[in-house]
Structure 1
Amino acid sequence: MSMDSCRPIFVLGCPRSGTTLLQQMLHSHRRIAFPSETRFVHVAYEKRHGFGDLERAENRRALAEWITGGKDTKFPVLELDAAEVVEEIVQGPPTLGSALATVFRAYAREHGKPRWGDKRPSYFRRVPMLRRMFPDAQFVHLVRDGRDAVSSLMRMPWFKGDLYAAALTWREAVDIGGRLGARLGPDTFCELRYEDLVTDPEDALRRLCAFLGEEYDAQMTEAYRHARRTVPLERRWHLRTHEAVTTRQVGVWRERMADWEAELVEHVLARRLCHHGYEPAGTGRPATAHLARFHRLLAHRRRTRYVEAARERLARSREPNPVVSWLTGPVPLTGRPED
């Protein structure tokens, strides 16, 4: 087994692009442990200065107790013994990346698997952060027809934006994905289309496994078996993961969008839709007022990203420790095998 085949895996993409389905498929692989969203990786990174010098055991303990018990995290979804994870972090290397890797390695070990991953759609904006902590990581970007992704996002009770924000989020995701693919190369960054994943799951997953350096596992196409145990009923927007894969959600934007919404979304995403193989429907030109509103939001987002980048540069200059994980290679397997 090569070291490459034990690299961390991160799944990312515009929200409502099928990342939960892909996470379930990856966890169904006999060698890969892929939990539901944990939500503590990026928050821990943002809070890293507050934990102080991690060379000090008491600071590693404070970090570990926040990861396992903080209100900002979803550690309980891992179903691990918090006290044992805390002690493992305290006894581990003094870097943030090492502490986070310790948690995921414990999850993988519990499932009897040598490799781990993590999924969060918004990671498309945080790849530099992830690469700082896990420089050997591989990234999988899932792309869905922007019209379907936007129409689905608008129906989510947790989405606080409007149509303009949803369309811009998809555009940002595919633009960043294109830049990452060119910069990181085919050994580190892989792009998949949701439509290919649901139309011919075996073919898409075989290509994905080749990228990951793994043998294809047919159980990946039966991920609904795992989803029925792990995706709660109250997350009704993810309940389709309880079913066998279908193409029913391809093209649903035609029924969901008003004419003016379809006109705006297709217009502002047109070039990118074509680049990813999505045929334009030939909707009319949107109203000038709608276009102007979209471009005002675009300008605001760009200013915000510029400010965030400046803050990140300052934060890096003041770090008390390196953030890179010292834990690489396969997980020592002492836990139970996956069911």
Structure 2
Amino acid sequence: MSFSESPVFIVGWPRSGTTLLAKMLAAHPGMACGPESHLFSKISQGTIQQALTSDDWVSSIAETVGGITLSGQGVLELYGHTASSFRDELSVRKPSMPEVLSALYSNLMTRTGAVRIVEKTPNHICHLDRIRSRFPKSRIIRITRDPRDAVFSMRKLPWMPDDIVAGSLLWDRWFRSSKDFFENDPLSMTVRYEDLATNCKVVLEEICEFIGENFDPCMESFYESSDTVFTPGESWKEDVSQPIDASRIYSWKKNEVDKEDLSLVSGICHKGIRYFEYEPSLVEPLPSFEALDSLSLASATVLARGLIENRCGFQIDINELSGRKLRTLKHNLMGFLRLISNIFSKRNSLVMFHSSK
């Protein structure tokens, strides 16, 4: 089997150990992992299909992949390619996503001598069915972390809103969207960050057995290997260049955190907390915000915070929602009203929309 046919995909939530796990697997002499490729999250299904079936598929794919950027740098550049060299790699291959991934990784595989691709893009957790359809023999690993730690840590990310509700909604969305896949897909597994940090060798041995590789001691000393899994512009990932700091586990219990924020995370993410067998929260669970999934995270946060903070009634400024987002909300109005009914159950409530326009 070609290494391009059976890569290992690592997915998960921001600040949940995806980079750490990628670095550990990349320390294995037979595996290599580069920066996040975003081949599925930044390229739509229709776009990739059109490019692969184009008469000049090489140029179409080179242009499509060449448009992906990560922290201000082009993905081709991060993988040591120019547009020309990437086209050359594609030209000797067949039009398929395994061959596109193989071409992207070609320089890294040559440099490291590895024979197995590890691809780590956390938000590929939202594109699992597409990955499975394009890579039917691949192994997919989801790494999770107690959301009460992960969501607070998300505030360190420059692209995340500094709003605990936004982080909680994102965590809950990704949990719900991936739950069925990992329950039913036989070539996938889930790892808890806390188990990896406290029982590293045992968990890595389990992962190696799952992906069909022999455990190598170099995986435990991952911090001694070169940094190929993140870019110079991703300073928040630099801690994987150090040994595991087990004191970071369950920081929400040890550090002084805002109690109201902690209640929000616990209330919104309560199903995932229970599902992954983390310590139960004493906070009353909030109703599911699934009805807001069709909205952008920013718009859903506006609505969710209004619902949470004003239990006796709230108003939404429509000016904060774009026309397209507002139409989407109206399209999903019945689900939205059910959400309101759940949150305001046994209360007299008023929902008011207003606009200054």
Aligned in 2, Cα 1:178/1:27: closer, same or farther, shift over 3 Å? Answer: same
Say whether the 8 Å CA contact 1:6–1:115 is kept in structure 2.
Answer: no
**Structure 2 counterpart of 1:214:** 213
CA distance in 1, matches of 2:4, 2:52: 33
Give the SS at the match of 1:211: helix
TM-aligned CA deviation for residue 16 of structure 1: 0.9
Alpha-carbon distance in 2 for matches of 1:62, 1:232:
26
Structure 1 residue 82, shift from structure 2 partner: 4.9
**Displacement of 1:213:** 0.8
Q: Which residue of 2 aligns with 1:60?
A: 58
Please name the residue that 1:205 is paired with: 204
Measure how far apart 1:303 and its partner are: 6.4
| Secondary structure, counterpart of 2:247 in structure 1 | coil
Report if aligned partners of 1:17, 1:142 keep a CA contact under 8 Å in 2. yes
1:6–1:269 distance in 2 versus 1, CA, 3 Å: same
Structure 1 residue 138: deviation in Å?
Answer: 0.8
- Please name the residue that 1:168 is paired with: 169
Q: Report the alpha carbon displacement of residue 270 of structure 1 after superposing the two structures with TM.
A: 2.6
The whole-number CA distance in structure 2 between the counterparts of 1:15 and 1:204 is 20
Equivalent residue number for residue 8 of structure 1: 7
**CA distance in 2: counterparts of 1:3 and 1:103, whole angstroms:** 15
| Number of equivalent positions | 293
Listed as ranges, the gaps of 5+ residues in structure 2 are 298-323, 325-357
Change (3 A) 1:253 1:34: same
1:4 deviates by 9.3
Task: Say whether residues 1:301 and 2:301 are aligned partners.
Answer: no
Residue deviations 1:57-104 (CA, integer Å, cap 9, x gap): x34123224434665742222224653331121232123443233223
What is the distance in 2 between the residues matched to 1:6 and 1:61? 22
SS where residue 198 of structure 1 aligns? helix
Contact 1:224 1:243 in 2 (8 A): yes
Q: Which has the higher contact order (CA 8 A, sep 6+)?
A: 1
Report how far residue 228 of structure 1 moved.
Answer: 5.1
**Residue in 2 that maps onto 1:268:** 268
CA contact (8 A) 2:27 2:219 kept: yes
Structure 2-normalised TM-score? 0.72
Mapping for residues 188-203 of structure 1, pairs under 5 Å: 188-203=187-202
Q: Cα distance, 1:279 vs. partner?
A: 0.9
Q: What is the identity, as a one-letter code, of the residue corresponding to 2:17?
A: G
Counterpart AA for 2:197: V
Residues 275-314 of structure 1 aligned to structure 2 (within 5 Å): 275-282=275-282, 284-285=283-284, 291=286, 298-302=290-294
Q: Is the 8 A contact 2:36 2:229 kept in 1?
A: no
1:163 to 1:49, Cα distance in 2 relative to 1, 3 A: same
Q: How does 1:97-136 map to 2 (within 5 A)?
A: 97-136=98-137
Q: What is the 5 A alignment of 1:309-320?
A: none
* 2:184 maps to 1:183: yes
1:16 is paired with a residue of what secondary structure?
Answer: coil
Q: Partner of 1:248: helix, strand, or coil?
A: helix
> Which string of whole-angstrom CA distances, capped at 9 and with x for unpartnered residues, describes residues 260-280 of structure 1?
111121123234213312113
Cα 1:158–1:99 shift into 2, 3 Å = same
In the aligned structure 2, how far is the partner of 1:5 from the partner of 1:230? 18
Q: CA RMSD in A?
A: 3.0
Counterpart of 2:239 in structure 1: which amino acid?
A: R
Please name the residue that 1:94 is paired with.
Answer: 95
Q: What is the rounded CA distance, in whole Å, between the counterparts of 1:151 and 1:108 in structure 2?
A: 36
Quick check: 2:23–2:229 contact (8 Å CA) kept in 1? no
Q: 1:137 to 1:260 in 2, by over 3 A?
A: same
Deviation at 1:45, TM superposition (A): 4.1
Q: Deviations over 1:282-313 (max 9, x none)?
A: 3x448xxxx5xx85x542214679x9xxxxxx
More helix by share: 1
Query: What CA distance in whole angstroms lies between the structure 2 residues aligned with 1:34 and 1:281?
Result: 36
Give the match for residue 34 of structure 2: 35
d(CA) in 2 for partners of 1:209 and 1:122? 23
Letter in 2 for 1:268: I
Q: 1:48 to 1:155 in 2, by over 3 A?
A: same
- Aligned equivalents of 2:222, 2:13: Cα separation in 1: 21
Provide the residue aligned with 1:334 in structure 2: none
Stretches of structure 1 that go unaligned for 5 or more consecutive residues are: 308-339
User: Counterparts of 2:183 and 2:3 in 1: how far apart (Å)?
Assistant: 20
Whole-Å Cα distance in 2 between the matches of residues 63 and 87 of structure 1? 12
